[in-house]
Structure 1
């Protein structure tokens, strides 16, 4: 069949087009992953790593998603580790205020496996928390007061962790923590990769314990479509930026952790840092909380004597009513403690009575101390009363009265701490 020259020409063009390879789609831009390694809750003791600075960094990073250190199952029911202040009290509220997706990326062995391997459940503290070790009340040594927001960006500062992860225990039967760490961190990395794939060309910020940072980055280094960058490459927020991101709940957390928890007895408190936080709270108006924190700060610094402190505590107790602290870190409200404070779940009135009793006990007036302790315990549940008196007998009643002129807390500077 003859088609003429025009038909032949068109047929030829069609054949060429069919034989030519299809144009390749441009590959999507990689997703930027920023792994911010943190020391859990150290933001509360270091001005160079303070909550407002981390808040300002997250704002500067402009993430499409924030990955947090909690399992998806626990996160779905609003359950967090007690001590991950930077997660539940900072990153999660920040993301929700700004409409940013939250991606829980942690993994834990089932409780049955925890009991099989360790002989206990890892999320069930004893009735009285120890001062150190597993389930110990958290405090920080002096070096943490100088911690920087980008501390974990320097591989040399994580060399100890890297060595531990790569070195089997001398006895294989003691190697479970390391083996679980490797598996846990691997799964964290895979969940981060999934979050990155869900945001092609975007930016994902990971807020995770520095213990995991380098292994996560190594696992993701060759992942397709992912570009890992260091947090410090985004630039450090200025002091003005940090100030603009400060919040009353951050100020209350700094003051409470350092003045009411075991940190106060550690000898490692940046009083200028704590004083600025408390002053910012007071600027919004005096409350029973701020008055109690002010007395505690001045007493710890040795700026007021015991008699004045007792009188002011008693006045606060008489006026506080049912006022509570703005931030306590309490997870289990059936307990009297928190993860850093043996008496963290007391309201302001009871805390004022407890502090008056502490001062009376240290001054040798055991009868007055017992009376105020009884008043503090009244109305608490039997479990809370038992914990209150247990901590009192263990941590306060046996304490040696401080030397005259030495600020309260300095005499206990040898209290074991953990970072």
Structure 2
């Protein structure tokens, strides 16, 4: 029996090699018949870092895509999920910048990711990788996203420098000390290989054209190495196109980009990180206010001035109360919420509240910090009115864990 299995494996290896040779021959023949070369540009990103780094801001990515003049844009999502309009929560640069840009311009979109079936995720990791718990942890897996101070200095072309990705390359090339712990690395290699193959297919679909890939920077170097020998493909670095200048970036700025920057930094957990570029956020908010004051801008302005120490806690509470009284049903221009049945988003425990409810919650937060727990509870109860039982449970859970407990570390004015 052992010899039978050995023979079967050898036969399978020989078959796989012959298939690979045949595919390479077919591609080489196709390349000879159609010599037009497709340019592939792999822009490595740090997911959602555009919201904290001014030199990597959403408008800069928008302007870069315009400068690249792509025939197709590849994004990091599986074809099946993309067909459902389903994205990873945290890939802001994909669903909130690249995809809308492509649709406004009539540019082809190519989802190029791969992920194991949910059953295999549970077998290998003990859980489904795309399903957050009812209460997300502050940090770690499924935790709210926040960035360290060094990310604020990130540039649009950060990933073009191999030195910035050497740790990833070392990790990918080094098996885990114990083989049973090597699943993440092995899946990464397989996933990146299939990403590259889907990019190659997109390139073949646009012979002689230009394909821009917007993908997590961890995948960039391996994708480029795999595509290096792909017939009919020429890989060039994004930085070779030049960085969009200030005028281009300003021309590509949009209200939803400014809202996302302000919300992420002022209302998300980033606000408590100590890593906020207030000048960048202030410019984004001023851009929103240039279109006229709204309930959204009034709330964001109050939060910004409180965090900067420009107004007192008492003044902030008064503003929040006044805003709640006349905000009506106003919402935010951007929320980042994927599951509307939840009260949170991927960066904000209370991200799915409308402006009135959020103003009441912020008033409750500051009232509690001022020492009046009874008044804070009343404000919180008012904020919770009309929520579903699930949303109510999450709101109270986050409040108790992150704000009301003695060890909580709520954002404080700087």
TM-score normalised by the chain length of structure 2: 0.91
Correspondence for 2:39 among 24, 32, 37: 32
Correspondence for 1:123 among 127, 130, 137: 130
- Inter-CA distance 217–285: structure 2 relative to 1 (3 Å threshold): same
1:201-227 CA distances to partner (integer Å, 9 max, x unpaired)? 110000000010000000000110000
Secondary structure of 1:205's partner? strand
Indicate the RMSD between aligned Cα atoms, in angstroms: 1.5
Correspondence for 1:206 among 186, 202, 213: 213
1:9-42 CA distances to partner (integer Å, 9 max, x unpaired)? xxxxxxxxxxxxxxx9875221000000000000
Whether 1:169 and 2:176 are equivalent positions in the alignment is yes
Unaligned runs of 5+ in 2: 1-30
* TM-superposed deviation, 1:378: 1.0
Moved over 6 A (4+): 400-403
- How many angstroms apart in 1 are the aligned matches of 2:369 and 2:238? 47
Correspondence for 1:196 among 191, 197, 203: 203
1:321 and 1:349 in contact (8 A); partners too: yes
* TM-superposed deviation, 1:312: 0.3
Unaligned runs of 5+ in 1: 1-23, 411-419
1:188-213 CA distances to partner (integer Å, 9 max, x unpaired)? 00000000001111100000000100
1:216-365 equivalent positions in 2, closer than 5 A: 216-365=223-372
- How many angstroms apart in 2 are the aligned matches of 1:281 and 1:209? 29
The structure having more radius of gyration, on CA atoms, is 1
- How many angstroms apart in 1 are the aligned matches of 2:34 and 2:256? 44
- How many angstroms apart in 2 are the aligned matches of 1:192 and 1:181? 16
2:48 and 2:91 in contact (8 A); partners too: yes
Partner of 2:164: 157
- How many angstroms apart in 1 are the aligned matches of 2:207 and 2:408? 62
1:168-190 CA distances to partner (integer Å, 9 max, x unpaired)? 00010100000000000000000
2:368 and 2:376 in contact (8 A); partners too: yes
- How many angstroms apart in 2 are the aligned matches of 1:197 and 1:170? 40
Secondary structure of 1:37's partner? strand
2:403 and 2:409 in contact (8 A); partners too: no
1:363 and 1:401 in contact (8 A); partners too: no
Partner of 1:11: none
Whether 1:51 and 2:55 are equivalent positions in the alignment is no
Correspondence for 2:146 among 129, 139, 152: 139
Secondary structure of 2:74's partner? strand
- How many angstroms apart in 2 are the aligned matches of 1:343 and 1:272? 24
Relative to structure 2, which stretch is displaced further, 108-117 or 394-403?
A: 394-403
1:373-416 CA distances to partner (integer Å, 9 max, x unpaired)? 0001111000000000000011001257999xxx8255xxxxxx
- Inter-CA distance 25–299: structure 2 relative to 1 (3 Å threshold): closer
Whether 1:408 and 2:412 are equivalent positions in the alignment is yes
Secondary structure of 2:185's partner? helix
Secondary structure of 1:67's partner? strand
Whether 1:87 and 2:94 are equivalent positions in the alignment is yes
- How many angstroms apart in 2 are the aligned matches of 1:272 and 1:234? 28
1:264 and 1:409 in contact (8 A); partners too: no
Correspondence for 2:376 among 331, 344, 369: 369
Correspondence for 2:400 among 387, 393, 404: 393
Q: How many residues align?
A: 384
- Inter-CA distance 227–347: structure 2 relative to 1 (3 Å threshold): same
TM-score normalised by the chain length of structure 1: 0.90
Partner of 1:148: 155
1:362 and 1:400 in contact (8 A); partners too: no
2:402 and 2:409 in contact (8 A); partners too: no
* TM-superposed deviation, 1:339: 0.1
2:401 and 2:408 in contact (8 A); partners too: no
1:251-272 CA distances to partner (integer Å, 9 max, x unpaired)? 0000000000000000000000
2:309 and 2:413 in contact (8 A); partners too: no
